[in-house]
Structure 1
Amino acid sequence: MESTALIPLQYALDTFFLLVCGALVMWMAAGFAMLESGLVRAKNTTEILTKNIVLYALAGVMYLLVGYHLMYSGNAGGVLPSFGFLIGDEHAVELVTAGGEGAPYYAKRADFFFQLVFAATCMSIVSGAVAERMRLWAFLAFAVVMCGVIYPVEGYWTWGGGFLKEAGFKDFAGSGIVHLAGATAALTGVILLGARKGKYGPKGQINAFPGANLPLATLGTLILWFGWFGFNGGSQLKVSSIEDASAVAQVFVNTNLAAAGGLLAALIVARILFGKADLTMILNGALAGLVAITAEPLAPTAMQALLIGGVGGVLVVFAILWLEKLGLDDPVGAISVHGVSGIWGLLAVCLTNSDASLGAQLMGIVCIFGWVFVASLAVWSVIKLVIGLRVSEEAEYEGVDIAECGMEAYPEFTKR
Structure 2
Amino acid sequence: MVATLAKRFGSLDVAEEAAAEAFATASARWPADGVPPNPGAWLTTTATRTAIDRFRRESIRDARHREAMLVHGADPEPLGAIDDDRLRLIFICCHPALGMEARVALTLRMVGGLSVPEIARAFLVQDTTMGARITRAKAKIAAAGIPYRMPDAADLPARVDGVLAVLYLIFNEGYLPGATGATTATTATSPMREELTGEAIRLTRLVHALLPADGEVAGLLALMLLTEARRAARVSGAGELVPLGEQDRTRWDRAMIAEGHAIVRARLDAGEPPGRYQLLAAVNAVHTDGAATDWAQVVALYDQLTRLDGSPIVRLNRAFAVGERDGPATGLALVDDLAPPLDGYHAFHAARAELLRQLGRTEEAAAAYDAALALAGNPAELAYLRRRREECGREA
Q: Which has the higher contact order (CA 8 A, sep 6+)?
A: 1
TM-score of the superposition, structure 2-length normalised?
0.30
In our comparison, the structure showing a higher alpha carbon Rg is: 2
